[in-house]
Structure 1
Amino acid sequence: MSRVVIASLALAVCLMAGGCKSQVEKCMETTKQRYEREVAACKDDACKAQAAKDMSDWMEACRSAK
């Protein structure tokens, strides 16, 4: 088989298995994990609100950085 066919098959398998993530997906996943850690450390609603705002800002940055 040619290299192109092999590469295409490898990519298809990777995508079907969910193992291939774009930089945007990785950024969003990291942002969600960071948010969960921050909320877990919060003691009051103001802290949780700030964590939610930070997550929103980071998600926007993830979507913008293509």
Structure 2
Amino acid sequence: MKKIPDASTLSTWRKSSHSDNGDGGCIEISDSHPDGIPVRDSKNPNGPAVIFVTTTWRSFVDSVKGRDLPA
């Protein structure tokens, strides 16, 4: 798994429309990275980001949307 040491080097971060904007406790993703989907903690914008393979990220999102995750 690839990492970006300082996630603030990317400028195209976005939060889910379902995130709770009250305390800033959510993840953000970037759609424009050539190696996959970077994910960072919104409370730590200068911290690291993990880059997921695009197909892996899509599978995860589809599972969450379909509530197919194990309990």
Given the two structures, how large is their TM-score scaled by the length of structure 2? 0.29
Flag the structure with more relative contact order, 1 or 2, with Cα contacts below 8 A and sequence separation at least 6.
Answer: 1
Q: Which has the larger radius of gyration?
A: 1
Q: Per residue, is there more helix in 1 or in 2?
A: 1
Given the two structures, how large is their TM-score scaled by the length of structure 1? 0.30
